Structure 1
Amino acid sequence: MPPDARVLRRDGTTSAFDADKISVALTKAFLAVEGDGAAASARLHRLVAELTDEVCTALLRYAGPGTALHIEQIQDQVELALMRGGHHQVARAYVLYREQRAESRRADAGSTEHEPQAPDVRITRPDGQRTPVDWDRVCTLVEQVCSGLGRTEPAAVLKETRRGLYDGMSSDELNQALIMAARTLVERDPDYSFASARLLLDKLRREALSAVAGAQREADQEQIREQYAGYFADYVRHGVRLGQLDPVLAEFDLERLGAALDADRDLLFDYLGLQTLYDRYLLHHDGTRHELPQAFFMRVAMGLALREDDREARAIEFYRLLSSFDFMCSTPTLFNSGTTHPQLSSCFLTTVDDDLDSIFQSYRNNALLAKYSGGLGNDWTPVRGLGAHINGTNGKSQGLVPFLKIANDTAVAVNQGGKRKGAACAYLESWHIDIEEFLDLRKNTGDDRRRTHDMNTANWVPDEFMRRVEADAEWTLFSPDEVTDLHDLYGDAFAERYRAYETAAERGEIRVHRTVRAVDLWRRMLTMLFETGHPWITFKDPCNLRSPQQHAGVVHSSNLCTEITLNTGGDEVAVCNLGSVNLAQHVTADGIDQQRLEGTLRTAVRMLDNVIDINFYTIPQAWNSNMRHRPVGLGLMGFSDALFTQRIPMDSAEAVEFADRSMEQISYHAIRASSELAAERGRYESFEGSLWSRGVLPVDSLELLAATREQDRFEIDRSQELDWEGLREQVRTDGMRNSNVLAIAPTATISNICGVGQSIEPLYRNLYVKSNMSGDFTVVNAHLVADLKAAGLWDEAMVSDLKYFDGSLAAVDRVPDELKRLYATAFEIEPHWLVQAAARRQKWIDQAQSLNLYVSRPSGRKLDELYRLAWRHGLKTTYYLRSTAATHVEKSTLSGTDGKLNAVQASVPTAAEPAGEACSVDDPDCEACQ
């Protein structure tokens, strides 16, 4: 520590920093748990010395010139060091001791959390002058943001704020101190997350209003209600002048649109949602945001309404849907709608042909598609394998891997406009001669020139391979240049032709081939999936046999997140446009609000269809495909929240049934909305000959898959409740506007904006620190907190227990069993429940779903059973395999350690070995199509 380091005491006085006091405190903490017998232990003295050094090192980050360390800050670091060292019982006792002392001090003061007096601190203005902090305004602001937020206490926020103040700080640092103060209290009550968001909103209003007006302006929530409309018109003109907004937006009736803005919807954000919006979505110039949240939603809505007859009315309709969080467009649409480069599509799928022109053209296409936030799925199966003959040079091929290495580096180089990392996934069929090298691409060992550490990979598995696995039969690998038609075949036709090639290989008619035991290859697939998180397991035949577009081509791969299943090849690069309905907004304790859901889906499908015509296409092959087929991918988020509202545990038959019934509702109304659009705007070009044209809806296509499977290899419920026959007739008569309508994406980012659980994911943890590109955030399950408060169980000890048990309630004796089951975390749920729920959804979906599987203690047998179960249940794809890592979430106090300036890093469960090669639960790499 610096020799002049000072400590700020609770009474406002300062004293010299003394590390010996930390040693004494640590020693007392250990003795309180381990007893006096440990006092003379050499181990204890050595341990205390090491922990003291660790605390002092951590405090060096804050001990700058003129900065006094607050006593609470020092105690936070002591607690953090205990937790990091694995001394959890000692740390828990220390937490409770601190709380008891705090209660005692409050009692001595005669009140709880009395408001602190104005600090003797000056603010440095931009011109260098220093003026006293306007503490009255600070107090008024904090009272305003806490108003109506349950048990939030302005005095607690003010007290925490004082700890972050120092003389000479800037006004921006004061704003940040206020935000940080509120967010450190989130673990006490989730409502502090909304208070933090409102403090950030105050900063954002000042920033945006001043940027647009060209002079210093600010407004509180009451004032902004009056100013939003006027600001909005100025904002649009400002954005056009900067070259950021499409000039056509200035031709809208801005007065009418401004009047439709609801300023109070800014208050719907929690801190994670608004900070994500602030950091990554709101338009800015030279780092200064000039776009407020409601202007952001209206800008997106205007961009999607550009070609509507009454564009103002439609823009208002779209705005209301977005700003209410009932539905949210995917990230590329939110980034770019209404801008001068409206690349709004989420996912692009390509097939790479077996020649150098096609291979290097694919690199260029990947770069152009990724530049404006597209996620990529590349089918590499046609490229000949290692040892295959090259006619042009009479040489032998080096195989697929060197080309994949270049694709990997291209994804790294083009980082989606600086907003997100470039992301691509390579797909390969399981009969390719290079499949075994393909499985090793993400390993941390071996020749690094044959590794792709930054690119995702996926197995494209035919049913014939799974039948060989179940029969413990042999499997033959081929180079695609000698078996060219296998790539385009599926179902029984593939199986018949594949067997013919095996016979030809036995006769010596095929040069490059190798025979392996199918079970051995399957086990290696699962081993690599566990060790590296890749390649994912996806199933070729269900994707094709149930595709509405069988007449127009073949599905050769999925996308970056395994939910898109569209045809690729020739002059077509498949494109999909995504958005997700927030199921949590459409469910009450009594079930689904069908009327609200129907209205949301009708508008949402219209918005997604508009994307196709407005979209900026970076390559012509994408335009060709999108205009011919017009696919969209409507998904959902907030599934876990919907279960909590209905008091349904995830691991139950009721949850599986709700997955079925809710997806049936979404499927029915989305298909009907697309058919109604066809009657209004015309059918998509390739409609004739599709399954739709024959009255075969997604639920009917189950029988096409069942016909190719033995009954013991196809286990799926066929029940339905709605009037599907009437809808079949409507589709046959009016057609469909979109070749594909439904796909469930991960929603990693947009669910953060809306403040709900991701996609169809189970609850991750009840209390943890989430890390993403916007920083580190305390996440508390508000549903659980409300229940624990009602039961009188929410207190400091419960917070400590949740930290100690990694956000799980299972070992907390005083929590009722009903709540333990309702709020069971992902790794406490048997994964077969997730597969069963996904299978019931899949029957209603014309594309696929991003299905993560969680296994707490993986073994070869468990993984084998799980993925065979997924295949038998007719799933088209799976996504990440999540397993518990060697390390866990920090069990430290989150108070005083949350945020980008002072972040507690969370070791989240990965799908990989402890080295962490695979995606974490909220790794930004997985947000590319959200």
Structure 2
Amino acid sequence: MMNVIKREGAIVPFDRTRIEVAVTKAFLDVENRKGEEPGRRIKEIASAITDDVIAALDRHPDRTPHIEDIQDQVELALMRAGEHKVARAYVLYRERRAAERPKPQDLLDPGLAIHIKDANGKVMPLDGEMLIRRINLACENLEGVEPSRVRELTVKSCYEGMSISDLDQTLVMSARSLIERDPNYAFVAGRLLLDNLYTETTSRLIEPGKRPSRLEMASLYRNAFMQYIREGVRLELIDPVLADYNVSALADAIQPERDLKLDYLGLQTLADRYLIHHDGVRIELPQMLFMRVAMGLAINEADREAKAVEFYDLLSSLDFMSSTPTLFNAGTLRPQLSSCYLTTVPDDLDGIFAAVKDNALLSKFAGGLGNDWTRVRGLGAHIKGTNGKSQGVVPFLKVANDTAVAVNQGGKRKGAVCAYLETWHVDIEEFLELRKNTGDERRRTHDMNTANWIPDLFMKRVAEEGEWTLFSPNEVPDLHDLVGTAFEARYTEYEAKAARGEIKVFRKVKAVDLWRKMLSMLFETGHPWIAFKDPCNLRSPQQHVGVVHSSNLCTEITLNTSDDEIAVCNLGSVNLAQHVTEQGLDTAKLARTIKTAMRMLDNVIDYNYYSVPQARRANLRHRPVGLGLMGFQDALYKLRLPYASEAAVEFADRSMEAVSYYAIEASTELAAERGAYKTFDGSLWSRGVLPIDSLNLLEETRGQYIQVDKSSTLDWDGLRERVKAQGMRNSNTMAIAPTATISNICGVSQSIEPIYQNLYVKSNLSGEFTVVNRYLVADLKQRDLWDEVMVNDLKYYDGSVANIDRVPGDLKALYATAFEVDPRWLVEAASRRQKWIDQAQSLNLYMAEPSGKKLDNLYKLAWVRGLKTTYYLRSLGATHMEKAATRSAPAAAEEAPKVCSILDPECEACQ
């Protein structure tokens, strides 16, 4: 590092003594020794701190640091060294110096006057007054933000001859850099970005070179929307049917002010990945997107304008959000709106490569894939056609992996597939190692997810420390379709045949050893995920017409698959945070939201584009949908409930009961209006067996190996009778997806996740974004604890408040992060939800310090508590653990649920 950028923009040589002097003064200030000669200890610490700062800055050798960057690193180095009092003194010193420093009063001052270039290259003076108005308007009615800060940062980054587009971006980046100071700066940055989008999209409607104000946009939005429909049809970007609507009436229904609901992360995500563009120029704005989606979903409605407005109101309010494929493609020429596709791969060459082709076609139009590979014969099995021996399933998985890389969901996001293999397959041990970074690369699949499809019999053998036999499926073909007691009986028959020498390819292992290897690979590589075959099937409403052979890419879908049917699921999520108040769940609003959301999801099925015929056949016969939720953590904050508490588990139960009740009610009302789905007769629904009732079927098969709370509060008897009498429009109604991107759009926490950190930098395809927990900031402000020192403490402790002395204990419990919440709480809450859900949930598990025993107990607990599937296991890296070792355990974590697995031999309660 040779140079430094000073505040006024001059570039000067770097001088390390300046850092040493500043740090020394801070130490002397803390020790009340101002003006004295520093001792040897202080000099050594100052030198070490300076070395730390230089090392941090040298990580970016291509960038000349600004003086503020260096001072930021000094603060962090002091905190890393444990010198918190000195760090606070240094922060206060910087604030005093900043207050003394003259501020730019007006961008039109002679010393600051610069020229910019417009889109046509014309040079003009920067209109400082206009810039000030833009910043002030962006900060309007937002508490905790200071327009002067945004303005000052913008001025620092301006330079002579910069383009107007660079100036626009500089404004946004200046506001974005302040998000860590106050979450409301995310809305400031969002509004400034919105200004840029307005100019880009509406430039053809106003005088060239002019920028519409937000007040002008109220009228411009209406005209822009009508022109957008005409232009989108002409450019073959949207379906011509949309032009047949009463577009003028729909334009009147648009509410431009709802753009202000979007913060920077949500708006940037929409701008980068969702808004329709032509030749790099966006022709769509957020409210236009929501109306386009609403129009697409209402195409087959009798009163489609009225329904389009109803759907638009739900989406634009952010009370509910359709899944990403629906947002991408509704109202376009290729409306592939479904999120998930599940296939089963046959055991012949034509069928295997046909399945790979289906993967490519489904992935091309933004579908996530789950493939069941259990039928493909194992390594060493006989090939009748060639009289040779099979290479097993792994080489074909490598082909599927590379196909997902090549066909990347229409160029909008990475191709994604998950392979499932049942635990008795002879290739299971190689399957477990597919994601390892060592070994033969030809037998590795680094870009594909994997999941274990585990029958209950295997878990019983693990509990009983018995043996487990591995088979090649060509010799035991019916195991693939058998579940429960039928599977157990047939499996033991095959074991007896193997013992008699009547089966050629088999291998015996200790069940516990294989289980340990599963958990070891899960910890080492994050895969394969753990999913349970029997609860997925025994509780399936559709067990009368098929078998669930796998879940999907994110482990929340549990639908039948066969050679004739590729299962499809259409997803959307309720924003739970917007359906709670401090008094509790707003059930009346929730019922209204779900009624409209279920209609939207059902409409997807008829309107959807199907790239393969098996998917169309399955979807039209069974009509499954997956209504989920997001913002669960936000809802807990509003209710003041720590995630790690019995009250939060109870809320998970009651809120999911309400979602389940209203989703089933909405589907049976749709059946009364539109008719039941074709395979309704014979389903669990037709027999009055609702999801909560299907727990009995699992208990009958499992025996002692299940412990699930069965409490309920709503009128389920009346609903059962209505379902039997009226039918169901949808074979499946609920599934909780990860909601990674749509929760960003809505500005809430993902799905059912605990908060990852209270302050962190999030990375996705749209870039890096600072995320601050606005609920925590509001509480700290209320107690006069939110300041620069708190911001830096949060940075140092990776977004955790557990070890910050100033934070009261009740806030430490409420704002405990994912790795500070005992994962058993996550399992308990998931168990309470699972009893109400006819499909499954994407459940990530967080463990700060994994061990074999902890993993063993956790996943056995998940099985005993009746979970159908689990998703990622997440653990902390070594650098995080070093810091975490200094933390005191949060109070909530110390009150972990007094539950355990009945499979734990060391547990007194179990004994």
TM-score (norm 1): 0.91
CA distance in 2, matches of 1:253, 1:263: 19
In 2: Cα distance, 1:54 partner to 1:558 partner: 45
Shift of 1:605: 0.2
> Which one of 499, 503, 507 corresponds to residue 500 of structure 2?
507
Name the residue aligned to 2:817: 825
Q: Cα deviations across residues 832-879 of structure 1 (Å, max 9, x unaligned)? A: 111111011001000000001111110000000000000001000000
**Change beyond 3 A, Cα 1:274–1:503:** same
Structure-2 residue corresponding to 1:658:
651
Alignment of 1:849-928 (within 5 A): 849-888=841-880
Aligned counterparts of 1:172 and 1:240: Cα–Cα separation in 2: 28
Does the Cα contact within 8 Å between 1:211 and 1:288 map onto a contact in 2? no
Of 35, 40, 44, the residue aligned with 1:37 is 40
Query: How far apart in 2 are the matches of 1:30 and 1:410?
Result: 59
CA RMSD of aligned residues (A): 2.2
Structure 2 unaligned regions, length at least 5: 32-37, 884-911
Distance 1:214 1:300, change over 3 A: farther
Report if aligned partners of 1:30, 1:90 keep a CA contact under 8 Å in 2: no
Give the superposition deviation at 1:14. Answer: 3.6
Code of the residue aligned with 1:19 in structure 2: it is: D
Question: In 1, distance between residues paired with 2:829 and 2:459?
Answer: 22
Give 1:793-804 correspondences, 5 Å limit: 793-804=785-796
Q: Secondary structure at the match of 1:552?
A: coil
User: Is the 8 Å Cα contact of residues 70 and 163 (structure 1) preserved in structure 2?
Assistant: no
Tell me if 1:315 matches 2:308: yes
Residue equivalent to 1:915: none
Please say if 1:690 is aligned against 2:683: yes
- Is the Cα contact below 8 Å between 1:683 and 1:738 reproduced in 2? yes
Find the counterpart in structure 2 of residue 8 from structure 1.
Answer: 6
Query: Which residue in the other structure is 1:306 paired with?
Result: 299
Contact preservation (8 Å) 2:24, 2:43: no
State whether structure 2 residue 416 is matched by structure 1 residue 423: yes
In 1, Cα distance between equivalents of 2:427 and 2:590: 47
Equivalent residue in structure 1 for 2:71, among 61, 75, 93: 75
Corresponding residue for residue 717 of structure 2: 725
Quote the offset at 1:131 in angstroms: 1.3
Q: Does the 8 Å contact 1:213/1:234 carry over to 2?
A: no
Which residue of the other structure, out of 466, 469, 477, is the alignment partner of 1:473?
466
Q: Who is 1:535 aligned against?
A: 528
Between stretches 463-472 and 223-232, larger displacement belongs to 223-232
Cα separation, 2, equivalents of 1:764 and 1:822 = 13
Question: 1:131-146 residue pairs with structure 2 within 5 A?
Answer: 131-146=124-139
Say whether residues 1:555 and 2:548 are aligned partners: yes
| 1:238 positional shift | 1.0
Correspondence 1:520 to 2:513: yes
Inter-partner Cα distance in structure 2 for 1:592 and 1:261? 29
| Cα offset, 1:886, TM superposition | 2.1
State whether structure 2 residue 153 is matched by structure 1 residue 160. Answer: yes
Give yes or no for contact 2:118–2:209 (8 Å, CA) kept in 1. Answer: no
Q: Secondary structure at the match of 2:469?
A: strand
Give the gaps of 5 or more residues in structure 1.
64-68, 892-930
SS at match of 2:693: coil
Offset at residue 45 of structure 1 (A): 5.3
Contact kept in structure 1, 2:75 and 2:90, CA below 8 Å: no
Higher relative contact order (CA 8 A, sep 6+): 1
Residue in 2 that maps onto 1:58: 60
Matched, 1:393 2:386: yes
1:414 aligns with 2:417: no
Partner of 1:894: none
Equivalent position SS for 1:234? helix
Tell me which of 830, 835, 845 is aligned to 2:827: 835
Tell me, what secondary structure is at the counterpart of 2:99? helix
Change in 2 beyond 3 A, CA 1:305/1:860: same
Per-residue CA deviation, residues 294-331 of structure 1 (Å, 9 max, x unaligned), is: 01100110010111011110000000000000000000
**Are 1:283 and 2:276 an aligned pair?**
yes
Q: Among residues 626, 632, 638, which one is paired with 1:633 in the alignment?
A: 626
Question: How far apart in 2 are the matches of 1:610 and 1:519?
Answer: 47
What does 1:310-389 align with in structure 2 at a 5 Å threshold?
A: 310-389=303-382
AA aligned opposite 1:253:
N
Q: 1:890 to 1:171 in 2, by over 3 A?
A: farther
Match of 2:249 among 231, 256, 269: 256
Matched residue of 2:113: which SS? coil
Cα distance change of structure 1 residues 458 and 53 upon mapping to structure 2, 3 Å threshold:
closer
Partner of 1:579: 572
Distance 2:283 2:815 in 1: 40
The correspondence for 2:702, drawn from 695, 700, 709, is: 709
Say whether 1:17 aligns with 2:13: yes
Q: Partners of 1:725 and 1:690 in 2: how far apart? A: 18
Q: For 1:72-124, what per-residue CA distance to the aligned partner results, in whole angstroms no more than 9, with x for missing partners?
A: 244345556x38xx834358845651443323442576xx9966665322112
Given candidates 421, 434, 437, the residue that maps to 2:427 is: 434
User: Which of 751, 754, 771 pairs up with 1:762?
Assistant: 754
Separation (CA, whole Å) in 2 of partners of 1:21 and 1:162: 29
Between the aligned partners of 1:444 and 1:672, the Cα distance in structure 2 is 49
Number of residue pairs aligned between Structure 1 and Structure 2: 874
2:875 counterpart letter in structure 1? S
Partner of 2:637: 644
Distance 1:862 1:266, change over 3 A: same
Cα 1:234/1:465, change in 2 over 3 Å: same
- The AA in structure 1 aligned to 2:145 is T
Q: Deviations over 1:194-244 (max 9, x none)?
A: 000000000000001125779555312111112211111001111111110
Q: Which residue of the other structure, out of 665, 676, 680, is the alignment partner of 1:672?
A: 665
Give 3-state SS (helix, strand or coil) of 1:670's partner: helix
Q: TM-score, structure 2 length as denominator? A: 0.93
Deviation at residue 763 of structure 1 after TM alignment = 1.2
| TM-aligned CA deviation for residue 383 of structure 1 | 0.2
Distance 1:337 1:814 in 2: 50
Tell me if structure 2 keeps the 8 A contact 1:810–1:820: yes
In structure 2, distance between residues paired with 1:460 and 1:57: 44
Instruction: Report percent identity of matched pairs.
Output: 61
1:492 aligns with 485
Q: 1:231 aligns with which of 220, 224, 227?
A: 224
Q: Distance in 1 between matches of 2:380 and 2:326?
A: 44
Alpha-carbon distance between aligned partners in 1 of 2:722 and 2:413, rounded to the nearest angstrom: 42
Residues in 2 aligned to 1:330 and 1:744: alpha-carbon distance in whole angstroms = 12
CA distance in 2, matches of 1:301, 1:214: 31
Counterpart of 1:452 in structure 2 is 445
The aligned counterpart of 2:894 is: none
Cα pair 2:841 2:869 within 8 Å, conserved: yes
The question of whether the paired residues in 1 share the 8 Å contact of 2:106 and 2:128 is answered with no
AA matched with 2:494: Y
CA contact (8 A) 2:20 2:46 kept: no
Structure 2: which amino acid aligns with 1:823? Y
Contact 1:79/1:91 (8 A) holds in 2: no
Cα distance in 2 between the residues matched to 1:879 and 1:214: 53
C-alpha distance 883-356 of structure 1, shift in aligned 2 (>3 A): same
Name the SS for the 1:683 alignment partner.
Answer: coil
Structure 2 SS opposite 1:677: helix
**Contact 1:606-1:677 at 8 Å conserved across structures:** yes
Give 3-state SS (helix, strand or coil) of 1:686's partner: coil
The answer to whether the 8 Å contact 1:440/1:528 transfers is yes
- SS of the residue aligned with 1:887? helix
Q: Which residue does 1:620 correspond to in 2?
A: 613
- For the 8 Å contact 2:53–2:73, the answer to whether it is kept is no
> Residue in 2 aligned with 1:813?
805
**What amino acid maps onto 2:617 in structure 1?**
N
SS of the residue corresponding to residue 811 of structure 1 reads: coil
Structure 1 residues 105 and 396, CA gap change in structure 2 (3 angstroms): closer
In structure 1, the residue matched to 2:888 is none
